[in-house]
Amino acid sequence: KVVCVTGASGYIASWLVKLLLQHGYTVKATVRDPNDPKKTEHLLTLDGAKERLHLLKADLLEEGSFDSVVDGCEGVFHTASPFYHKVTDPQAELIDPAVKGTLNVLRSCAKVQSIKRVVLTSSMVAVAFNGKPLAPDVVIDETWFSNAAVCEKSKLWYMLSKTLAEEDAWKFAKENAIDMVAINPGLVIGPFLQPTLNTSVETVLKLVNGAERFPNITYRLVDVRDVANAHILAFENPSASGRYCLVGRVMHSSEVLKILHELFPDLNLPEKCADDKPFVPIYLVSKERAESLGLNFTPVEVSLKDTVESLKEKNFLS
Ligand code: NDP
């Protein structure tokens, strides 16, 4: 079976490509620069890559760039989208590649008969930002949709980019009879295959190397291997549909700190969390739909341990 992964060099996509190759798929993987070894070497050395991985050049903002890539594929995993919080021009840096890029990929998919399903990598940021108050008895689930106006008012540009991209993707998929499933992960952590840092792993690095204090915030954590696995389950299970929130644990940073202390007593970690303001409330995210796919969430202790070990192994942390 032939499938396509967009943005294959990224953190989540690299794991997805690895697992797809392990499952015996032939993978057409898009990158913006196939000649940059930092983006490709870790993919080319994966088991099965020599035989079944094809690296192809494509750009989200180039009209028709994905036409020939998706041609002949049964599945398309659209993961490519910029994930940064610090931007100077949110429209050009985040919103256009996310929204126009997603529609660009879907337009290519609409032209191809062989495609059975498109799996879109959306995010919990397209689910949770709707202004509803959070509290310990609140359960966020797939019926929630972030509100673009709420994101815009608070200048949450990445959140806005993912919300608009998913909204437009559903509209286009419905109008063009594309079978689409969305995967909505929380903050993704766990070991990384690529040599560079992505934004979510960098968040952990900044906490453990002291660049940032443990802030008074709550994280929605999920392991990268679970995220990659969920993409494949969502493609392979014919009855999968709609959206799947992926959050293994909602945790306050003080709890993250406690686990890291226990796992890595040698790290120079602060004794406690940054401020004494009332804690941002813990709430829940439903696992029901994700577990119905057959997904078993990795314990957060394992994900944190493997993230820090990966950071050490790749010399981001001594
Ligand atoms: P990475 O930064 O590691 O990967 C992002 C990928 O998007 C890169 O491969 C990058 O390609 C590609 N990309 C960005 N802009 C363009 C463009 N204009 N044209 C083509 N490709 C482009 O991020 P993650 O792996 O963390 O994120 C992957 C997806 O998962 C994104 O859609 C993100 O929104 C989503 N997500 C991530 C979460 C997380 O915590 N990590 C949580 C929830 C959702 P290039 O290598 O060429 O730069």
Partnered with residue 216 across adjacent β-strands are: none
pTM over 0.95: yes
In order, the DSSP letters of 247-312 are: -SEEEEHHHHHHHHHHH-TTS---SS-S--SPPPPP-EE--HHHHHTT--PPPHHHHHHHHHHHHH
Question: Rounded mean pLDDT of 271-290?
Answer: 86
Q: Is the CB of 79 under 6 A from ligand 1?
A: yes
Q: Separation of 79 CA from ligand 1 center, angstroms?
A: 6
Give tens-digit pLDDT for 225-270: 999 999 999 999 999 999 999 999 999 999 999 999 999 999 989 9
Structure tokens at 33: 């620069």
Question: Rounded mean pLDDT of 193-199?
Answer: 97
Q: Separation of 137 CA from ligand 1 center, angstroms?
A: 32
- Strand 249-252, strand 218-223: pairing: antiparallel
pLDDT of 157 reads 97
Q: Whose CA is nearest to atom 43 of ligand 1?
A: 123
d(CA 55, CA 69): 10
Q: Is the CB of 39 under 6 A from ligand 1?
A: yes
d(CA 106, CA 178): 8
Percent of the chain with pLDDT over 90: 93
pLDDT of 58 reads 98
Give tens-digit pLDDT for 37-85: 999 999 999 999 999 999 999 999 999 999 999 999 999 999 999 999 8
pLDDT value at 122 more than 90: yes
pLDDT of 10 reads 98
Q: Separation of 122 CA from ligand 1 center, angstroms?
A: 10
Q: Whose CA is nearest to atom 26 of ligand 1?
A: 11
81, 285, 314, best to mutate for ligand 1 pocket (most atoms within 8 Å of CB)? 81
Q: Is the CB of 66 under 6 A from ligand 1?
A: no
Give tens-digit pLDDT for 175-185: 999 999 999 99
Q: 1, 23 in Cβ contact below 8 A?
A: no
- The complex scores an ipTM of 0.98
Q: Name the residue among 129, 115, 128, 125 with its Cα closest to residue 181.
A: 115
In order, the DSSP letters of the chain are: -EEEEETTTSHHHHHHHHHHHHTT-EEEEEES-TT-HHHHHHHHTSTTHHHHEEEEE--TTSTTTTHHHHTT-SEEEE------S--S-HIIIIIIIIIIHHHHHHHHHHT-TT--EEEEE--GGGTS-SSPPP-TT-EE-TT----HHHHHHTT-HHHHHHHHHHHHHHHHHHHTT--EEEEEE-EEES---SSS--HHHHHHHHHHTTSS---S-EEEEEEHHHHHHHHHHHHH-TT--EEEEE-SEEEEHHHHHHHHHHH-TTS---SS-S--SPPPPP-EE--HHHHHTT--PPPHHHHHHHHHHHHHHTTS--
Q: Whose CA is nearest to atom 36 of ligand 1?
A: 123
> How far apart are the two ends of the chain, measured CA to CA in Å?
42
Q: 105, 71 in Cβ contact below 8 A?
A: no
Which amino acid, 132? K
Question: Rounded mean pLDDT of 113-134?
Answer: 96
pLDDT of 299 reads 98
Q: Whose CA is nearest to atom 46 of ligand 1?
A: 9
pLDDT of 28 reads 98
Q: Is the CB of 158 under 6 A from ligand 1?
A: no
pLDDT value at 279 more than 80: no
Question: Rounded mean pLDDT of 158-179?
Answer: 98
Q: Whose CA is nearest to atom 5 of ligand 1?
A: 10
Q: Separation of 82 CA from ligand 1 center, angstroms?
A: 5
32, 63, 151, 220, best to mutate for ligand 1 pocket (most atoms within 8 Å of CB)? 32
